[in-house]
Chains A and B, each alone.
Chain A
Amino acid sequence: MHNKTIAELSIALRDGQVSSTELTTQMLQRVKTHDATLNSFVTVTEDLALAQARAADERIAAGAAGPLTGIPIAHKDIFCTLDVRTSCGSRMLEGFVSPYDATVVANLQRAGAVMLGKTNMDEFAMGSSNETSYYGPVRNPWDTETVPGGSSGGSAAAVAARLCAAATGTDTGGSIRQPAALTGITGLKPTYGRCSRWGMIAFASSLDQAGPMTRSAEDAALMLAAMAGFDERDSTSAQRPVDDYVGALGSPIKGVRIGIVKEFMGEGLDAGVGASVSAALDELTRLGAELVEVSLPNAGLSVPAYYVVAPAECSSNLARFDGVRYGHRCTDPKDLEDLYKRSRSEGFGAEVKRRIMIGTYALSAGYYDAYYLKAQKVRQLIADDFRRAFAACDVIVGPTAPGTAFRLGEKADDPVSMYLQDIYTIAVNLAGLPGMSIPAPASDGMPVGLQLIGNYFDEARLLNVAHQLQLATDWHRQAPADFV
């Protein structure tokens, strides 16, 4: 049962082949069995999950079930969950119990999904390997000596290892797509503003977006349909109706113009990954899509621009963690400065501190124009590049990450090489576009991600192209051998 997708489970639940209580119990058992190895969960909410499952069973019995009713899922620990620990991968919020639910969490709960628990992540979503978590690294179910990617590494590993049917993630520079790529699952970062950021602990407010991490494009459509929508509590929430993502999945992709970014297919790309991406492009062509070459001349500046914008915003967003109202507080502060400095230095890990410092520097007197303003201008150039590209194509397709999963510790001491993991994903966040990663053929037995980038609010088309490819191939059906 745990190998089934949401779409399949939904039918099984409705047909009475399994109850949500049984399914949830099974999944909780799998978490117990496997998560000692993976460390993908930081909190398991067993009692809550079983209570939600019973409620879901009643709803199913009453004939009032939706497609997510009774489906066991997990939330990245960056989402505030009422009366449930919300730690954001940080010592700073160790033991913090949120007094409210994030909108995305509430939306999924309303849709009937069952929350199994909260997943591990890079601290405050800063990282591409899930090694910066205070609660220990997450291991990749395909090879437990490798990383699952990050920052939504716990969600990715849990979905890939079949510990939950789907999970939520967040993506500021690739944090849904890169781990999805490294663990062989489907992950979607929607257009900025499509999912509410209320209750999602902010890393970089102008870049952060929530999205689904699933085992198929169809499941991603089902999840996004429940997650997305206007929220009056988020000033940056888009005030427009949510498209019928599931309904749009049936269209043939004949004639769809697929843009190939020449800058993404050259230097820096692992040969095996390159071959997998080419194979996926061949399949898309076979399905009738037209390939066109497009150019994003400034995309190469996306990582530099990002490492100004994101740290600048984070340096300010994380100032609230001061040991005064909640969160970690040092023992016996001798004065106010001591309270601030020790609480924050003890509460934050090395990567978070690095980014706070970079951001503080970039905004400080005398450097603002050279760094922050410059980065905002480069950001505009990148957004303009995409605008031009989308005049010539409907969907941009390329690699998600430059390689497959790397070994634990391999890049931990070299921040910059870690940052380059997101070289293909970051431009999408800077522009605010929707992006998706789906499995391409594996390389040396390890998953490869194919990135699909759409125009603003064009998630329905993106999901359909992915779905059509998944109907024609079984790449997304591959599972890590030890977890089937």
Chain B
Amino acid sequence: MSLSADDVAKIAHLARLAVEPRESEALGRELSSILDLVAQMDAVDTADVPPMAHPLEMAQRLRADVVTEEDRRERYQAHAPAVENGLFLVPKVLE
């Protein structure tokens, strides 16, 4: 499995990571070597095996519909990079 520069760019965009063109080739090589390792899985036939999402066979527990949280905005926004009037600020989002 070998990832092209285009593949790397596409994945980086999906993951919102900036990859400089000069890093792209080395990164592509590293990722490809990891995918080669991963490809060892192909050696085993799993056609009839159910996928395992969780280690434990448990069902989801349900919470009572009770309001337990109070306003802690000031505390929670203490480390926010940009806040005004209680809102988190980000560069203009274009609709």
- Direct interface between A and B, CB < 8 A: yes
Say whether B50 contacts A301, CB under 8 Å: no
Question: Which of B17, B19, B34 is A307 in contact with, Cβ under 8 Å?
Answer: B34
Alpha-carbon distance A325/B83, docked complex (angstroms): 9
Complex Cα–Cα for A235 and B62 (A): 9
Q: Smallest distance from the beta carbon of A187 to chain B beta carbons, Å?
A: 19
| Max count, chain A CB within 10 A of own CB: residue among B16, B60, B93 | B16
In the complex the two chains form, is A236's CB within 8 Å of B54's CB?
Answer: yes
Q: Indicate if B92 sits at the interface (CB-CB under 8 A).
A: yes
Instruction: Decide yes or no whether A96 CB sits under 8 A from chain B.
Output: yes
Bound form: Cα–Cα A178–B19 in Å:
32
Whether a CB of chain B sits under 8 angstroms from the CB of A216 is no
Which of A337, A371, A376 neighbours the largest number of chain B CB atoms within 10 Å of its CB? A376
- From 319 to 337 in chain A, residues with beta carbon under 8 angstroms from any chain B beta carbon are 319, 322-327, 329, 333-337
Min CB–CB distance B2 → chain A (angstroms): 13
| Smallest CB gap from B8: residue in A | A357
The interface bits of chain B over 48-63 (1 if a CB of A lies within 8 angstroms of the residue's CB, else 0) are 0111111110101101
Complex contact A336–B15 (CB within 8 A): no
Give Cα A421–Cα B29 distance, bound, in whole angstroms: 21
Tell yes or no: B67 within 8 A of A by CB: no
Is B56 in contact with A432, judged by CB distance below 8 angstroms? Answer: yes
Can you name the residue of chain B whose Cβ is closest to the Cβ of A323?
B81
Q: Can you list 28 contacts pairing A with B, beta carbon distance less than 8 Å?
A: A99-B76, A193-B58, A206-B54, A206-B55, A300-B40, A307-B34, A325-B88, A326-B79, A326-B81, A327-B79, A338-B91, A341-B17, A342-B18, A354-B27, A354-B30, A357-B15, A357-B17, A358-B35, A361-B31, A374-B41, A376-B52, A378-B41, A380-B51, A381-B44, A383-B52, A430-B55, A432-B55, A432-B56
Query: In the docked arrangement, what's the CA distance between A304 and B49, Å?
Result: 17
B30 CB to nearest A CB, Å: 6
Contacts of B35 in A (CB 8 A): 358, 361
Number of interface residues of A (CB under 8 A): 71
The residues of A that contact B27 with a CB separation of less than 8 Å are: 354, 357
User: B74 to chain A: closest CB distance in Å?
Assistant: 10
Within 8 A of A (CB), among B25-45: 27, 30-31, 33-35, 37-44
Main secondary structure of the interface of A (DSSP, over half): helix
Q: Are B91 and A371 in contact (CB under 8 A)?
A: no
Query: Which residues of chain A come closer than 8 Å to B78, judged between CB atoms?
Result: 97, 99
Q: Max chain A CB contacts within 10 Å: which of B3, B52, B76?
A: B52
Contact A371 B38 (CB under 8 A): yes
- From A235, A326, A419, B61 is in contact (CB under 8 Å) with A235
B56 in contact with A378 (CB, 8 Å)? no
Question: Once the chains bind, are B75 and A238 in contact (CB under 8 Å)?
Answer: no
In the bound complex, CA of A377 to CA of B47 (Å): 9
Within 8 A of B (CB), among A120-179: none
Out of B11, B16, B30, B61, name the residue touching A337 (CB < 8 Å). Answer: B16
Contact A99 B11 (CB under 8 A): no
* Interface contact tally, CB-CB below 8 A: 163
In the complex, what's the smallest C-beta–C-beta distance from B63 to chain A, in angstroms? 8
The answer to whether A390 has its CB under 8 Å from any CB of chain B is: no
User: A296-308 CB contact bits vs B (8 Å, 1 = yes)?
Assistant: 0010110111011
Contact A324 B56 (CB under 8 A): no
A424 partner residues in chain B, CB cutoff 8 A? none
With beta carbons under 8 angstroms apart, the residue of A303, A337, A362 that contacts B37 is A303
* Chain B residue contacts of A304, Cβ below 8 A: 37-41
Question: With A and B bound together, what is the CA distance between A413 and B92 in angstroms?
Answer: 40
Whether B44 and A308, one on each chain, are in contact in the complex, defined by CB atoms closer than 8 angstroms, is no
The answer to whether B55 and A383 have CB atoms under 8 Å apart is yes
Chain A residues positioned under 8 Å from B16 (CB to CB): 319, 322, 337, 340-341, 344
Determine if B91 and A336 form an interchain contact, defined as CB atoms under 8 angstroms apart.
yes
In contact, B43 and A301 (Cβ under 8 angstroms):
yes
- Min Cβ gap A312→B in Å is 11
Q: Please, what's the 1-or-0 string for A29-71, where 1 marks a CB less than 8 Å from any CB in chain B?
A: 0000000000000000000000000000000000000000000
Contact B49 A329 (CB under 8 A): no
Nearest-Cβ distance from residue B91 to partner chain A, whole angstroms:
5
CB-CB contacts below 8 Å: A233-287 with B: 235-236, 238-239
A307 near B56: Cβ-Cβ < 8 Å: no
A59 to B63 CA separation, bound complex (whole angstroms): 35
Task: Please determine whether B17 and A348 come into contact, CB atoms closer than 8 angstroms.
Answer: yes
Min CB distance B55 to A, Å, is 2
In chain A, what residue has the closest Cβ to B51?
A: A376
Note all chain A residues with C-beta closer than 8 A to B8: 357
